[in-house]
Amino acid sequence: MDKLIVKALEVREHAVVHQTGYKVGAALETIDGKVYVGANVESPSAIIHVCAERTAIFSALSAGERKFKRIAVVAERDQPIPPCGFCRQTLLEFAPEIEVIMANLEGESKTVKLSELVTDPYLFQKN
């Protein structure tokens, strides 16, 4: 099993899921091989939630990382789960060339380029 999937599985157990009970883990690899992990965090008030993918990328960015190779996302689903729209946009802004590994608990996985998930991206441009 891919080391990123293993890391995402491990961190998934640290998810804070007050509302849904739905745990997601993510592991983000930099171009020099460092790995940053994240789990989804749900607010008890049901207003603010942060997905595992964004938790991982914000952790890496906070550590000074800027170049990313791939991210693995693991959740308990029948099919490997793709990142949500917010996560796709965040990845697009900070890691447009990233490879996305989607996996479930049964060991099934699918790997795609982010560009396959975001076909008509919004990118802010200064005038």
Instruction: Write the DSSP symbol of residue 16.
Output: B
* Residues 78-117 as b or e (16 or more Cβ within 10 Å = b): eebbbbeeebbbbbbebbeebbbbbbbeeeebeeeebeeb
Q: Which helix (H) or strand (E) holds 75?
A: strand 68-75
CA distance linking residue 61 with residue 36, whole number of Å: 10
Catalytic residue among 29, 42, 53, 65: 53
Instruction: Write the DSSP symbol of residue 45.
Output: T
The first and second tokens of residue 27, run together, are 């592991």
Question: Does 53 qualify as catalytic in the annotation?
Answer: yes
The residues assigned a catalytic role are: 53
